Amino acid sequence: MLVTDGNGLPIGLHLDSAQPHEITLATQALATIRVPQPKGRPKTRPKALAADKAYDSQAFRAQLQRRGIKTAIPTFERRKRIKPKRGRPIQAGPLYLSRWKVERAFAWMDNYRRLVVRWERSLHIYEAFCLVAFILWCIKRLLK
C-alpha cells in the first residue's frame, strides 16, 4: 500500500502478503504517514484522501470522518438493483480527479525491475528496495 502527497511523492508505505484485501490494510498504510514539520511533532493525518472503488466501505468512511479526513471514494455497486437505492448517492467530487498522481507513482515504481518482479522472499528486504527507489525519486525531483 502506497500513500502519496498531492504531488505524487510517497509519504507512507505498508507492505503485506497478497492475501488480505486492500481495505484491511488501508488503516495500517495511513498509520505510516509521518511528515516532519519545522517545529513540533510530525503530521500523521492527511487533510483529504482520494482512493478507488476498492475502498468503498461505510466503516472505512466513518473511521476517516472521525479522524477529520475528507474522502473522495466513488461508490461501488455490488449488485444490480431492480429499483435504485434510496437517498443521495455518494459523490467522489473534484478531489478524485487528482488520483492520477497516485497512479503515476505506481508507474514510477515500474521503472525499477526489482520492484516489478518481486524476487525477494522476505518482506523487509523488498521494503528496503522500495525505500531506496523513493529516495532516488526525491533526489531526482530536487535536482530538477
Residue 14, domain extent: 2-143
Write down the pTM of the prediction. 0.78
**Which pLDDT score is estimated for 88?**
65
Q: In this predicted model, what pLDDT tens digit does every residue of 114-127 receive, in sequence order?
A: 888 877 888 889 89
CB 4 within 8 A of CB 101: yes
Please say if the pLDDT value at position 3 is more than 70: yes
Q: In this predicted model, what pLDDT tens digit does every residue of 10-27 receive, in sequence order?
A: 888 988 887 888 888 999
Rounded-to-integer distance, Cα 78 and Cα 69, Å: 25
Residue 101, amino acid: K
Q: In this predicted model, what pLDDT tens digit does every residue of 65-116 receive, in sequence order?
A: 999 999 888 887 766 777 766 776 666 778 888 888 888 888 888 888 888 8
Please say if the pLDDT value at position 62 is more than 90: yes
CB 48 within 8 A of CB 95: yes
E strands, the chain, in order: 2-4, 10-13, 48-50, 70-72
Rounded-to-integer distance, Cα 73 and Cα 80, Å: 20
Read off the C-alpha cell for 4: 502519496
Q: Which helix (H) or strand (E) holds 28?
A: helix 22-30
Q: What pLDDT band is residue 141 in, cutting at 50, 70 and 90?
A: confident
Q: For the chain, how many structural domains are there in total? A: 1
